[in-house]
Amino acid sequence: MSIEQDLRKIPLFKDLATEELSALAEATRLQRNQKGDLVVRKGDPGDALFLIRSGKVRVFTMDEEGQEIALNIYGPGDFFGELSLLDGLPRSASITTLTDCELLVLGRDEFAAQLEAHPRMVMRILAALTVRLRTTTERAERMAFLNIYGRIALQLLDLAEEHGRPAQQGIEIDMDLTPEDLASLAGVDLSGLERVLKFYQDAGLVETDWPRLVVRDADGLRQRLTWHRRKRLV
């Protein structure tokens, strides 16, 4: 499959005209990374946009004590590095690969040249970035009104929707996820995560055998989102 065809599948570029997409494809290169590679380091120059052709990556930062805080997980069709690409500031987070990956890399200078040559591209790309920002904001608002039980339920449901595959007893989250990763993504500490997962496992909602993680009852987890509000349970 050509790079142009790959770009067409990515939401950021799916509405571009054929000539605009062809111009971007000519400026894009393919990069292959193995599982565990550090693709982007926080503080590095923001000189490229990355589009995931295949594989999954983990976005993280470090706290004051040097502990990793997982921020997000991206898979095929997702992109990262767009903020530094547009404003030229250093990277705000680090990215490592969870699997072997194929990444499409578009340099900042090449990207800027294509935007100048194809002004219509600007509005289409801004629209795609706005969708991502709105989605992130809405999720943050939902998390803010949930206690630890609800936050973990929400994170499990999100992972099952975005990275799940049908399993005999539910939906298996298809990634090499650690308890520390899940705790960071949900914004809870490890002891709290272990307590809640045991509660959900005893209730038949999830099954954990790290790195295997299965959502056995998605509807039951959704009910937890309404039950476990901060004002009702802390």
Average pLDDT of the residues of the chain: 85
Strand partners, 206: 215
Q: Which residue has the tokens 């990956």?
A: 101
By the 8 A CB rule, do 142 and 131 touch?
no
Domains of the chain in sequence order: 3-141 (2.60.120.10), 145-227 (1.10.10.10)
Write the DSSP symbol of residue 91.
P
pLDDT in tens, 23-81: 888 889 999 999 999 999 999 988 888 999 999 999 998 877 777 788 888 888 888 98
Please tell me the distance from the alpha carbon of residue 103 to that of residue 36, in angstroms, as a whole number: 14
pLDDT in tens, 73-108: 888 888 898 877 677 788 889 999 989 999 999 888
| pLDDT beyond 80 at 183 | yes
Please tell me the distance from the alpha carbon of residue 18 to that of residue 25, in angstroms, as a whole number: 10
Q: Which residues neighbour 179 within 8 Å (Cβ) at sequence distance 6 or greater?
A: 190, 193, 194, 210
Two structure tokens written together for 130: 């706005």
Q: Which residue has the tokens 């000189």?
A: 47
**160-164, 174-178, 200-204: segment of lowest average pLDDT:** 174-178
Q: Which residue has the tokens 């990444």?
A: 103
Please tell me the distance from the alpha carbon of residue 179 to that of residue 183, in angstroms, as a whole number: 6
228 confidence band (pLDDT: 50, 70, 90): low
Please tell me the distance from the alpha carbon of residue 65 to that of residue 199, in angstroms, as a whole number: 30
pLDDT number for residue 229: 60
pLDDT number for residue 234: 44
By the 8 A CB rule, do 96 and 35 touch?
no
Please tell me the distance from the alpha carbon of residue 86 to that of residue 139, in angstroms, as a whole number: 24
Nearest to 103 by CA among 29, 17, 48: 29
Please tell me the distance from the alpha carbon of residue 122 to that of residue 16, in angstroms, as a whole number: 10
By the 8 A CB rule, do 56 and 99 touch?
yes
Q: How far is CA 12 from CA 52, 181, 214, in A?
A: 12, 27, 31
Amino acid sitting at position 3: I
CA end-to-end span of the chain = 51
